[in-house]
Amino acid sequence: MGREEIEKLQKKKLKAAIKRAERIPFLRERLREKRIGEISALSDVSKLPFTIKKDLVNAFPYGALAVPLERVVRIHTSSGSTNKPVTSFYTKKDLETWSELMARGLACAGARRGDIFQNTTSQGFFTGGLGLIQGAEKLGLTVVPLGSANPEKQLEVMADFGVTVFHAIPSFALRMIEMLEASDGLRASLKIRIGILGAEPWTKEMRAKIEGALNIGAFNNYGLAEVGGPGVAIECPFKSGLHVWEDRFLIEVIDPSTGEPLEEEEEGELVITPLDREAMPILRYRTGDLTRIIDGICECGRTHRRIEWMRGRIDDMVKIRGIGVYPSTIEKIIASHPESNGNFQILLSGVDDITVKLEVKNGFISDQAAVNRLRSSIFEEIKDATLLRSNVEICPPGSIPRSEGKAKRVVDLRRL
């Protein structure tokens, strides 16, 4: 579809989405207060009320439902990394739409019939589980639904079945790499060529590390349970941003402090309106993710606009001695050193003391001079990027505690 055609479709769908949103009590009230007239241009979306995470947390478990419960065929929840989770509902049609989006995303990353797909994430409430599986089946891939298991088991099953495409959380891919580096000959028995990675903040530097160590193409997959799960945007092989499926999602980038729309291509908070959802048609969901819209047609020929690789989540920013720091800034610095294995943790303690712990590859720790050099160069780079003087600790592989789900990058002990 050309730009004009996409926007015409979005406008038509937006009007219908507003009608559906009126069935959600808190949105009905807000829409009434705002007295929104006719939507005559797509930019009129900015007149609509936002939906924020707190609205959905308050609505737990059934308050954001727009259809009778008997029409809901599936319930998922967000991972609830902070406090209570958010429920996400699906009608039969919502599930079909989601499967189609996931199939599209997998195809966009280069997966084809004949590929064998393994999902390494939990397959329960987490949308990255069943969501990916449905999409892979829709595309006609052969699915190995192992689900959550330790890295050793994952790699063993990959080798057994000749898995070519897998889905994982980036920090889990790092754990697989650790396991591979500790074992002899396992890499040679693997046929993996594509990794679909997402569901936690990561960086391009981390991607380069994962691609190199696993000898795969790794693709950033984006979505969130609140707007239906993964399947909102993904990279194509040109890796110049993530294509957003604009026939099904309307995106905006706003100034996070004022809520006002920003100029084209300016960086701000991503806001998503799902255009086709029946069970949970929320409007203008504030994702908390910092990005910008990339205009123009991609080299791959897709006309869906792209968003820049997310710089981080607004809520992930930590204030240290009055300075706002994104963990992704520190991750970039660490991942750019080939001696590191990618695992790190930022520890805040005492009165604003910051300690950055990072693991290095096997064997490196025994070279004291090299450890000192690495420590001082990371110290300098963090100081240049954030103005902060930090304690840098170089640790042997496996010494930073691993978490089962999303990686815990910041441990803040200051308020305890």
Site for Zn ion contains 199 (CB under 5 A): no
CB of 135 to Zn ion, least distance (A): 18
Q: Which is nearer to Zn ion, 107 or 400 (CB)?
A: 107
Of the residues 69, 300, 323, 387, which one makes contact with Zn ion according to CB under 5 A: 300
Site for Zn ion contains 298 (CB under 5 A): yes
Mark 210-249 with x for binding to Zn ion (rule: CB under 5 A) and - for no binding.
--------------------------x-x-----------
Q: Which is nearer to Zn ion, 302 or 414 (CB)?
A: 302
Binding-site size for Zn ion (CB under 5 A) equals: 5
Q: Which is nearer to Zn ion, 302 or 332 (CB)?
A: 302
Q: Rounded to whole angstroms, how far apart are CA atoms 251 and 293?
A: 9
Q: Which is nearer to Zn ion, 240 or 336 (CB)?
A: 240
How far from 125 is each of 80, 121, 131, 228, CA to CA, in Å?
11, 11, 10, 12
Q: List CB contacts of 230: < 8 A, sequence separation 6 or more.
A: 102, 105, 127, 128, 131, 132, 198, 199, 221, 222, 223
Q: Which is nearer to Zn ion, 243 or 277 (CB)?
A: 243
Q: Which is nearer to Zn ion, 105 or 342 (CB)?
A: 105
CB of 6 to Zn ion, least distance (A): 15
Q: Rounded to whole angstroms, how far apart are CA atoms 220 and 239?
A: 9
Site for Zn ion contains 297 (CB under 5 A): no
Site for Zn ion in 40-79 (CB under 5 A): none
CB of 240 to Zn ion, least distance (A): 7
CB of 3 to Zn ion, least distance (A): 15
Q: List CB contacts of 5: < 8 A, sequence separation 6 or more.
A: none
Which bin fits 128, alpha (ψ -120 to 50), beta or left (φ > 0)?
alpha
Question: Which residues of the shown chain bind Zn ion in the complex (CB under 5 A)?
Answer: 236, 238, 298, 300, 302
